[in-house]
Amino acid sequence: MATATVLGGPAAHWVESFQKAREEGSGSGTWRGRWRRRSVISFGSKNRTIGVAAKNQQITHANNTVSNFKRFHGRAFNDPFIQKEKENLSYDLVPLKNGGVGIKVMYMGEEHLFSVEQITAMLLTKLKETAENSLKKPVTDCVISVLGTAFDPFLGGKNFDEKLVEYFCAEFKTKYKLDAKSKIRALLRLYQECEKLKKLMSSNSTDLPLNIECFMNDKDVSGKMNRSQFEELCAELLQKIEVPLYSLMEQTHLKVEDVSAVEIVGGATRIPAVKERIAKFFGKDISTTLNADEAVARGCALQCAILSPAFKVREFSVTDAVPFPISLVWNHDSEDTEGVHEVFSRNHAAPFSKVLTFLRRGPFELEAFYSDPQGVPYPEAKIGRFVVQNVSAQKDGEKSRVKVKVRVNTHGIFTISTASMVEKVPTEENEMSSEADMECLNQRPPENTDTDKNVQQDNSEAGTQPQVQTDAQQTSQSPPSPELTSEENKIPDADKASEKKVDQPPEAKKPKIKVVNVELPIEANLVWQLGKDLLNMYIETEGKMIMQDKLEKERNDAKNAVEEYVYEFRDKLCGPYEKFICEQDHQSFLRLLTETEDWLYEEGEDQAKQAYVDKLEELMKIGTPVKVRFQEAEERPKMFEELGQRLQHYAKIAADFRNKDEKYNHIDESEMKKVEKSVNEVMEWMNNVMNAQAKKSLDQDPVVRAQEINIKIKELNNTCEPVVTQPKPKIESPKLERTPNGPNIDKKEEDLEDKNNFGAEPPHQNGECYPNEKNSVNMDLD
């Protein structure tokens, strides 16, 4: 499994930068660009262009190039923020049927309307493709960073750029009588230049110029700005920096003195005034050891490694948090009053699950919303409505206990995952189902029937939390009901039965109760959620566009192949290929190449793929033989030289054999004759083809090709090498036996000595130690 890294903004639907993806066209490196610079999609008459290539078309195809769309997520078209942003966009925003934001572009010669989700999906698809091409394996998951805790969605690099744009728009209107906002292309160029100027002012405090040629009406414009002016211009933005910092300290329950180090990340933190404000707030120097543009991407890459089974990293815990508090509201059964409960507080650990118990006689509805609407950076505080269906009263008319499981998952998304109704079913005495017994054993004592809601927290990932039981208004620990406890937890006890008095009359047996959990369906209606039919339509549309992009890419590749062939061959015909084509063919081929080039930029500008394939084949019929002659002229001498060296090697070995060289006297004569025969045949072949090739000119096809010579070398080696490399047979030397306490004696000499001494009386000497042994050791003793 491969995992790519994607960074996001205030919601998990968009991307800010992409790690582990190679930048298109560069061949190497890592794409860590920010969202604003890379999240550009240009729609053309035949395909879409996404990423760096689309960035280059942002001015030339302004009306059909979409960028800066991440803040449109989760907003209605009539949102004041959307209406304000419309004025500075090069493309058209239109309302969708569901009230959302739609983007209108021309694609494939027709007008198309795409939702923000579709545009984002296009970008994510492209990023996935880029990552897969770099990793050489499929990408199945990604990590998206989502800002939380404390942040201002309207305080970033783009907002500083806008201040500069507004300033120069006013200056150019006064100085040159030009309204930059009246022409979108001029406005986009101004945005680009202002961004460059902002970066330069971060490292220079002197006056810096801003020059744009042919800005509008063929007029050149110029201006200047220094860091002090820039800080005065952005004073309002700089004052807003401290607000999220105060909020951060409040939420974390820390004091400034408790912070030991401050690391800043993000491109806008390079602005000196921003650094100064942050350093002043914390009362200490800030650290910039991390690359401001890559820091978060590296963190996401680490999270990818943690999640991926392909990597082993040092163990440490990362706990995500719910940035905004979430509450549930519901109507009481048969009452007009509403119950409200905050199920997840601000910065609550995630993922996390809680089980809520409701007493109901029929279906009921729960509505989830953000508890603090002012703290949410979007005007819509509602999350969704959930209807728990198929709820009914118990057979005795009592309310049913309905357990509802609410959850914030790994992705930070709130949902009501399951709902079940506790149903008590009487059983016969002889029906001792193991399943019923286990259910009774595992049942917790029920709460007071007057309690409207009970909350049970369950979180396997974030640790075990104590059970919380609360009323609609206040939190209290409700005692278990004695009546239900006796029914649900009654277990037959043989010891107690034996203690009954004999004279006591038998009591009436109570029916046994089996508790069953019945799963209930939940109807979810989430705000801004795409319906299944609409989602399937989006997927189908994206699939068609991907296929069209692929076909267009193949067409463009075929066209580019013709263009590259024309330029390459025209240059080489006047260079290295010139000797390998006759003068007449040389001139005619040059004319054909020129005609093809003209065709490409005229009627061949927009042809089908097959037209380019046919044109390339026409050129290659003439060009390929010329290219082959050149290559053969380069390779053939090298192969002849190698073949000659092998022939000399084997011929020398054959001569040494005839001269009785002891190195080869072990080789059979018939085998060596095979070597001599092969050498003579190959040498004769080489001499013939070399003589024939010498009679050919360079502009004629060669008599023999390098590949044929290579085959001859292999054949010669296969015939001769096994013969000349035969190892000499090993000659066994006589074995020597080691006698005890004596030198090694040849066994043959020993046998001969035994025969000569057969029947003779062994000599008697002083100190004879082994009188009965054949090989005795004689020692003189003093």
Q: How far is CA 527 from CA 15, 118, 381, 415, 419, in A?
A: 21, 17, 9, 12, 21
How far is 469 from 479, CA to CA, in rounded Å?
A: 10
- Exposure b/e, 155-183, CB count within 10 A at least 16 = b: bbbbbbbebbbebbbebbeeebebebeee
Question: Quick check: 682 pLDDT over 60?
Answer: yes
- Cis upstream peptide for 482 (omega within 30°): no
pLDDT at res. 476: 34
Contacts with 731 (C-beta within 8 Å, 6 or more apart), sequence order? none
pTM: 0.69
Distance spanning both ends of the chain, measured CA to CA: 89
CB 96 within 8 A of CB 530: no
pLDDT at res. 336: 63
In terms of domains, do 102 and 202 share one?
no
> Is residue 604 situated within a structural domain?
yes
How far is 622 from 584, CA to CA, in rounded Å?
A: 12
Residue 26 backbone phi and psi in degrees, to 5: -85, -25
CB 143 within 8 A of CB 307: yes
* Residue 446: alpha-carbon gap to chain centroid: 48
How far is 553 from 608, CA to CA, in rounded Å?
A: 12
How far is 197 from 90, CA to CA, in rounded Å?
A: 22
> Is residue 383 situated within a structural domain?
yes
> Is residue 736 situated within a structural domain?
no
CA within 13 Å, CB half, 289: 5
Contacts with 431 (C-beta within 8 Å, 6 or more apart), sequence order? 512
Q: How far is CA 582 from CA 565, 622, 697, in A?
A: 20, 12, 10
CATH classification of the domain holding 103: 3.30.30.30
Q: What is the pLDDT of residues 623-671, one digit of tens each?
A: 999 999 999 999 999 999 999 999 999 999 999 999 988 888 889 999 9
pLDDT at res. 628: 95
**Three-state DSSP state, 212:** strand
Under DSSP, the state recorded for 401 is: E
pLDDT at res. 314: 85
Among 438-447, 549-558, 698-707, the minimum mean pLDDT is found in 438-447
Contacts with 445 (C-beta within 8 Å, 6 or more apart), sequence order? 480, 481, 484, 485, 488, 489
Question: Quick check: 239 pLDDT over 50?
Answer: yes
Mean pLDDT of 353-376: 92
> Is residue 592 situated within a structural domain?
yes
Query: Nearest to residue 157, comparing CAs of 245, 237, 87?
Result: 237
Neighbours of 497 (CB within 10 A): 8
CATH classification of the domain holding 202: 3.90.640.10
How far is 201 from 195, CA to CA, in rounded Å?
A: 10
Q: What is the pLDDT of residues 163-205, one digit of tens each?
A: 999 999 999 999 999 999 888 889 989 999 999 999 999 999 9
Query: Nearest to residue 51, comparing CAs of 136, 122, 149, 138?
Result: 122
pLDDT class for 594, splitting at 50, 70, 90? very high
In terms of domains, do 261 and 363 share one?
no
How far is 442 from 419, CA to CA, in rounded Å?
A: 18
pLDDT at res. 258: 93
Under DSSP, the state recorded for 64 is: G
Neighbours of 549 (CB within 10 A): 20
How far is 252 from 248, CA to CA, in rounded Å?
A: 6
In terms of domains, do 368 and 413 share one?
yes
pLDDT at res. 459: 43
Query: Nearest to residue 524, comparing CAs of 421, 391, 416?
Result: 416
In terms of domains, do 123 and 164 share one?
no
In terms of domains, do 657 and 702 share one?
yes
> Is residue 430 situated within a structural domain?
no
How far is 381 from 326, CA to CA, in rounded Å?
A: 10
Dihedral sign from CA coordinates of 652, 655, 661, 662? positive
How far is 58 from 42, CA to CA, in rounded Å?
A: 7
| Structural domains in the chain (count) | 4
pLDDT class for 511, splitting at 50, 70, 90? low
DSSP 450-494: T-SEEEEEE-TTT-----B-B-SSSB--PPPPHHHHHHHS----H
CB 368 within 8 A of CB 408: no
In terms of domains, do 643 and 713 share one?
yes
pLDDT at res. 54: 63
**One-letter amino acid of 643:** L
Q: What is the pLDDT of residues 7-31, one digit of tens each?
A: 333 333 333 333 333 333 333 223 3
Question: Quick check: 95 pLDDT over 90?
Answer: yes
Q: What is the pLDDT of residues 296-336, one digit of tens each?
A: 888 888 888 888 888 888 887 778 888 899 999 998 766 66
In terms of domains, do 336 and 267 share one?
no
In terms of domains, do 648 and 571 share one?
yes
Domain end point (choices 282, 310, 345): 282
Residue span of the structural domain in which 270 resides: 155-282
The bridge status of strand 139-145 relative to strand 2-7 is parallel
Q: 418: part of which helix (H) or strand (E)?
A: strand 414-427
Domain end point (choices 370, 390, 425): 425
Residue 252 backbone phi and psi in degrees, to 5: -85, -5
In terms of domains, do 113 and 203 share one?
no
Q: Which of 514-518, 676-680, 768-772 has the highest mean pLDDT?
A: 676-680
Among 312-321, 541-550, 571-580, 720-729, the minimum mean pLDDT is found in 312-321
* Number of residues written out for the chain: 782
pLDDT at res. 698: 92
In terms of domains, do 45 and 95 share one?
yes
DSSP 223-239: EEE-HHHHHHHTHHHHH
Query: Nearest to residue 148, comparing CAs of 348, 409, 294?
Result: 348
**One-letter amino acid of 328:** L
> Is residue 498 situated within a structural domain?
no
* Residue 487: alpha-carbon gap to chain centroid: 55
pLDDT at res. 63: 84
> Is residue 83 situated within a structural domain?
yes
| H helix intervals, 3-115 | 35-38, 52-56, 80-86
pLDDT higher for 431 or 354? Answer: 354
CB 408 within 8 A of CB 351: yes
pLDDT higher for 488 or 580? Answer: 580
Mean pLDDT of 586-607: 93
289-295 long-range contacts (CB < 8 A, ≥24 apart) are 289/263, 290/263, 290/265, 292/264, 292/265, 292/266, 292/267, 293/17, 293/32, 293/33, 293/34, 293/266, 293/267, 294/19, 294/32, 295/263, 295/265
Contacts with 703 (C-beta within 8 Å, 6 or more apart), sequence order? 689, 692, 693, 696
Domain end point (choices 376, 391, 425): 425
pLDDT at res. 619: 95
pLDDT at res. 236: 94
Q: What is the pLDDT of residues 373-390, one digit of tens each?
A: 888 888 889 999 999 999
pLDDT higher for 376 or 54? Answer: 376
pLDDT at res. 10: 31
679-686 long-range contacts (CB < 8 A, ≥24 apart) are 679/647, 679/650, 679/651, 679/654, 679/716, 679/720, 682/643, 682/647, 682/712, 682/715, 682/716, 683/647, 683/651, 685/712, 686/640, 686/643, 686/644, 686/647, 686/712
712-715 long-range contacts (CB < 8 A, ≥24 apart) are 712/643, 712/682, 712/685, 712/686, 713/639, 713/642, 713/643, 713/646, 715/678, 715/682
> Is residue 300 situated within a structural domain?
no
- Taking all residues of the chain, what is their mean pLDDT, rounded to a whole number? 79
How far is 548 from 550, CA to CA, in rounded Å?
A: 5
In terms of domains, do 121 and 172 share one?
no
Query: Nearest to residue 282, comparing CAs of 314, 253, 260, 303?
Result: 260
Q: What whole-number percentage of the chain has pLDDT above 70?
A: 76
Residue located via tokens 């996001």: 8
Contacts with 9 (C-beta within 8 Å, 6 or more apart), sequence order? 16, 35, 70, 71, 146, 147, 153
**Three-state DSSP state, 508:** coil
Question: Quick check: 126 pLDDT over 90?
Answer: no
CATH classification of the domain holding 347: 2.60.34.10
Q: What whole-number percentage of the chain has pLDDT above 90?
A: 49
In terms of domains, do 587 and 651 share one?
yes
**Three-state DSSP state, 5:** strand
